[in-house]
Structure 1
Amino acid sequence: MANPQEPYKFQENGIIQGIDIEIVDIVMKKLNIPYVIKFIKSDARIQQEAQKGRADMLLLFSKRKSREEYLLYPEESYVNITWNFFIRAEDENKITFDTFDDLKGLTIGATNDISYTPAFFDANLRLEMAPRNDLQIGKLLKNRLDAVPMNTISTLYEEKKKGNLEKITFLPKPLKSKPYYNVFSKASTYPNIREIHRKYNQIIKELKADGTIQNIFEKYLSKQINIPNS
């Protein structure tokens, strides 16, 4: 089961697709396991289905101690949900981010009701607030901002669709980053679910090593993304 979210897992023109969908399809074919992906627009509902054994596998969940009571987490992650500072391509090598002091004197975008990090708000940066996150790249390209922290993968995907990828880039050091995993239900009645979990982990490791996962990311983003080591 999965909560639809582009570019990871979504349905378009009746076709289920996305980064996670392609990776899971490769894994299941290697395991010779038939499968069906069901979309539910609620992470809470999806987790309830896993607790009751009505979902065998959930796509793209962060690790929490409370969830480990009913979910099996693999060692391998191939997705970090990361926020990086985006800048105009013409400002590459002109703007850097190692510490927040590097951003002093610049106009930095921020969106109401997004938490970012405590350090971000404590850095006394010159912030220009916006009511919606989807306004930020447009403001950047109109020179109203010098940099703006955004969800890296989602932003690259959306700006690729708009034809803006050549106009923007992002600073390599993330503002924040957290690994996400495809997880298995401990309550699943599917035969040998724990052995499948073990084999899944090994296959993901192999797909990372041979470049398969990197190629899938670049298909959707047209830019290289660092794949987590674990």
Structure 2
Amino acid sequence: MLQLLTRILAMSACILLLAYNNAKAGADLYVMAEESTPPYAFVEHGIKKGIDHDIIVEAAKRMNIRVEIDMVPWIRMYKSIETGVCDAGSVFFHVKERESFAIFTNPPLHHSTYSVFIRKDSKLEYSSIESLYGKTIGVSRGYRLNNDFKEAVERGFIQIEETNNISMNIRKVMAGRLYCMVANYDVTMLELSRAGLRGQLIALNPPLLERKPLHFVFSKAGRYGNNKEFIAKFESTLDAMKNDGTFKRIYDRYYAKQ
């Protein structure tokens, strides 16, 4: 039985790797983006879309290259950037330790705020990270939040439960299985609206992580890791899109729906 399971897992890994290699081979730029993160990257009625998705597609169009964007769990994207399975990823906070495997581009694709969300009937009195001590908190798997939160988790003051998507954490908080959750403010508000739960889960102030830029990155182990000319052209294309109002038009298209 164990041998059969091992064989099945090995075959699944090979199939997945083959799919990635085929996608990479068929595109000039093979990108991974975090799945199910509206308004940034998501699938609606079978169509990939979102702020980051649309910016990347438009940049590729202007550069006259074919781009393939796969939406996957964030931790898979992270590992794929480390190993060069994909050429690039969307999106990352600029953290010093990630410079060993990622090349951060500018301008950032968007800025995000991360908040603590609780049920509206919660009695939590929140003012700082210390208010969360002794609590079990839902977070997305592999996310790097601020240093205070990271240290509190490492020292055992806060317990975390990791999931692959925000909607699962929303369900856990609403069911009382988690005391609260930490997540991207815009993504969470959209997910709450979709689930008919807006107003049932509320964001606390101050945010855990204030508005901070998120960047498109190239994998140093990928096809363009040493191609400074290509990366510079991609950055100049993004810069031109921001200056001519394309970024704003794309933002407005999605934020108007919130």
State the TM-score, normalizing by the size of structure 2: 0.56
Which residue is 1:197 aligned to?
234
Name the aligned partner's letter for residue 195 of structure 1: A
Q: How far apart in 2 are the matches of 1:63 and 1:113?
A: 18
Structure 2 counterparts to residues 174-213 of structure 1, below 5 A: 174-176=207-209, 179-184=213-218, 187-188=223-224, 192-203=229-240, 205-206=242-243, 211-213=248-250
Which residue is 1:163 aligned to?
196
The SS at the match of 1:20 is helix
Deviation at residue 165 of structure 1 after TM alignment: 1.9
Deviation at residue 34 of structure 1 after TM alignment: 3.4
Identity value in percent: 19
Residues 82-107 of structure 1 deviation map (CA, whole Å, 9 limit, x = unaligned): 4312245688xx97744356679xx9
| Structure with a larger share of its residues in helix | 2
Query: 1:25 aligned to 2:25?
Result: no
Which residue is 1:225 aligned to?
none
| Residues 118 and 179, structure 2, Cα contact 8 Å, conserved in 1 | yes
| Residues 60 and 182, structure 1, Cα contact 8 Å, conserved in 2 | yes
Structure 2 counterparts to residues 2-21 of structure 1, below 5 A: 2-7=32-37, 8-21=40-53
Which residue is 1:45 aligned to?
80
Judged with a 3 Å threshold, the aligned counterparts in structure 2 of structure 1 residues 69 and 150 are, in CA distance, closer, same or farther, namely closer
Residues 120-170 of structure 1 deviation map (CA, whole Å, 9 limit, x = unaligned): 797979x9x87977565456557x599723212442232222121243331
Structure 2 counterparts to residues 106-145 of structure 1, below 5 A: 110-111=137-138, 116-119=149-152, 137-138=170-171
How many residue pairs align between the two structures? 209
Q: How far apart in 2 are the matches of 1:130 and 1:49?
A: 28
Deviation at residue 20 of structure 1 after TM alignment: 1.4
Which residue is 2:116 aligned to?
85
| Residues 58 and 184, structure 1, Cα contact 8 Å, conserved in 2 | yes
State the TM-score, normalizing by the size of structure 1: 0.61
Judged with a 3 Å threshold, the aligned counterparts in structure 2 of structure 1 residues 184 and 150 are, in CA distance, closer, same or farther, namely same
For structure 2, which runs of at least 5 residues remain unmatched after alignment?
1-30, 144-148
The structure whose RCO (Cα within 8 Å, separation 6+) is larger is: 1
Deviation at residue 37 of structure 1 after TM alignment: 1.6
Which residue is 2:16 aligned to?
none
